Amino acid sequence: MSLQTPRVLPAHLHAFHPSSSTTSKHTVRILGTVSALRGDTATLTCGGAGDVTIILKPDSHLQMGKLVEVIGKVTDLNEGGIGIRLLGSTDLGDPADCDYKIYEQVVNATHKLKSIFYDSNE
Amino acid sequence: MDSGYNNYNTSYGGSGGGGGGGGGFMPGEMNNSPSGGKGDYNNATLRPITIKQALDATQPYPEAGYQIDSAEAASVCFIGQVRNISSQSTNVTYKIDDGTGEIEVKQWIDSSSAASAGADSMETDEQAGKSAGSRSQPAVDGYAKVFGKLKSFGNKRFVGAHCVRAVTDINEVHVHLLEAAAVHLFFTKGPAVDGASGQGAGAGTGADASMGGVEDYNSGGRALPAMSPVARRVYNLLRTEPQSNEGLHAQLIAAKLSLPMPDVARAGDELLTAGVIFSTVDEQTWAILEY
């Protein structure tokens, strides 16, 4: 189903990159804290799992220091590397209210037990 | 007790046609058919699932209850983001997306509770609804937890919701997904046994082990291989039921556990393959293989 948005961590982005032939799905869901805003891009800090650069939409309003869940397409960045082109985001408030370790476990579990979470391939 | 059975007898005899007849097998039949019917109503198990599981749920035959991992999923709950809310005169339809799929959720508006504020039985609901209304009302793009039953209309699957409430703590979303994973593992691989719990898929193990603890407590000293819940029930019955050294017949097991014969046969095959039981006087009579 085209509506699936696998939950990922920064380390998994390459697997959803358009150039990777193993999957045709590039839309992912990632959770993190907005740690930098630079006009048309932002940096999402994902607990201890690293950072991701988000390419913003003109009408997207991420707020500094907030926990957000971003849904977006994995894409190449102009300055090199892989980032996410934002499609939608949900503000989840204070990062202190979220135990990021649980999210990391969720990501691991969802990718181990594909049969109940995501179609393996389309 | 007797009169109770008799009552059942007549009502079932009337519809089934065979009620007046046989003596010996009656108790077995009693156990089977009424509890089969009762199960549907009494099975209040609320199963945490993902939306993909809801979409993949199967019906063993048309009009039957939905099954997930070949276990009845009468009531389910899931958490997802609300993508759309459309209020109609008789129901509110939500579109819920949890990243694994998207499904429609219909909550019927109870006109009696909406109309009459004085109705005694509804009063608590009313008050709860009013005081908590603004707080727990799901909003578009917010997370919501849905409790309901799987339904289908034509070819379209939807959920008839008892309750839809907003989720404000993101941890609850994550825990729900882990719970769904743990329950899925429970139904497909059986409860985690102590020795094997380390191998369970990372996240699920904690919950899994505790679930296993409940069922496992009479399974004796020896660690059993992973098996389906039905197989485990059959094994436990064989262990605990008084029997001669010929063991128990599959029919008797089916009657005792109120299970259909094919399920018992499948569980038997599983146990025979695992080498924990063996067949005695015939292929359908099994005893525990102890060593």
CA distance A79 to chain B (A): 29
For A98, residues 6+ apart whose C-beta sits below 8 A from its C-beta are A31, A67, A92, B170, B171
Do residues B231 and B219 lie in contact, with contact meaning Cβ atoms separated by under 8 Å?
A: no
**Residues of A with Cβ-Cβ distance to B202 under 8 angstroms:** 105, 108-109, 112
pLDDT at A14: 86
Q: State how far the Cα of B178 lies from the Cα of B197, in Å rounded to an integer.
A: 15
Q: State how far the Cα of B52 lies from the Cα of B100, in Å rounded to an integer.
A: 5
Task: Give pLDDT tens digits for B57-108.
Answer: 988 887 788 888 878 888 999 999 999 999 999 999 999 999 999 999 999 9
Q: What are the counts of helices (DSSP H) followed by strands (DSSP E) for chain A?
A: 2, 6
Task: Give pLDDT tens digits for B158-209.
Answer: 999 999 999 989 999 999 999 999 999 888 877 765 544 344 333 333 333 3
Task: Give pLDDT tens digits for A93-104.
Answer: 898 989 999 999
Asked whether residue B238 carries a pLDDT value surpassing 90, the answer given is no
Does B268 or B207 have the greater pLDDT score? Answer: B268
Asked whether residue B269 carries a pLDDT value surpassing 60, the answer given is yes
Give A38's strand partners. Answer: A41
Do residues B145 and B165 lie in contact, with contact meaning Cβ atoms separated by under 8 Å?
A: yes
pLDDT at A39: 85
Which of A1, A5, A105 minimises the CB distance to B203? A105
**Residues of A with Cβ-Cβ distance to B50 under 8 angstroms:** 116-117
Class of domain A7-115: mainly beta
| DSSP states along B61-110 | STTSPPEETTEE-SEEEEEEEEEEEEE-SSEEEEEEE-SS-EEEEEEE--
pLDDT at B222: 56
Query: How far, CA to CA in Å, does B220 sit from each of B192, B193, B224?
Result: 15, 12, 9
pLDDT at B223: 62
Q: Do B170 and A67 touch (CB under 8 A)?
A: yes
**Partner A, chain B 2-21, Cβ-Cβ below 8 Å:** none
Domain ranges of chain B: 2-42, 46-168, 170-216, 218-291
Q: Count CB pairs under 8 A between chains A and B.
A: 84
Q: Do A98 and B171 touch (CB under 8 A)?
A: yes
**Residues of A with Cβ-Cβ distance to B70 under 8 angstroms:** none
CATH 1.10.150.530: does it fit domain B218-291?
A: no
pLDDT at B20: 41
Q: Do B100 and A116 touch (CB under 8 A)?
A: yes
Nearest to A83 by CA among A29, A17, A23: A17
* pLDDT class of B240 with cuts at 50, 70, 90: confident
Asked whether residue B35 carries a pLDDT value surpassing 70, the answer given is no
Q: What is the pLDDT along chain A (122 residues), one digit of tens a residue?
A: 457 899 999 998 888 888 775 556 788 999 999 999 998 899 999 988 889 999 998 888 888 999 999 999 998 888 888 999 999 999 998 989 899 999 999 999 998 888 888 876 54
Tell me the average pLDDT of chain B: 73
Q: Do B181 and A5 touch (CB under 8 A)?
A: no
Q: What is the dihedral sign for C-alpha A8, A11, A16, A22?
A: negative
Asked whether residue B11 carries a pLDDT value surpassing 80, the answer given is no
Owner of token pair 């979220």: A98
- What the block records as the tokens of B54 is 């809801």
* Fold (CATH) for B46-168: OB fold (Dihydrolipoamide Acetyltransferase, E2P) (2.40.50)
pTM: 0.67
| Residue A100 contacts B where some CB pair is shorter than 8 Å | no
Q: Do A109 and B175 touch (CB under 8 A)?
A: no
Which of B97, B180, B202 minimises the CB distance to A3? B97
Do residues B177 and B163 lie in contact, with contact meaning Cβ atoms separated by under 8 Å?
A: no
| Residue A60 contacts B where some CB pair is shorter than 8 Å | no
Q: What is the dihedral sign for C-alpha B132, B134, B139, B143?
A: negative
* B274 three-class SS: helix
Of A39-53, A84-98, B111-125, B276-290, the poorest mean pLDDT is in: B111-125
**The Cα angle at residue A93 between residues B48 and A102, in degrees rounded to 5:** 40
Residue of A nearest to B142 (CA): A90
Which of A7, A99, A116 minimises the CB distance to B181? A116
pLDDT at B22: 41
3-state DSSP of B107-174: EECCHHHHHCCCCHHHHHHHHHHHHHHHHHCCCCCCEEEEEEEEEEECCEEEEEEEEEEEECCHHHHH
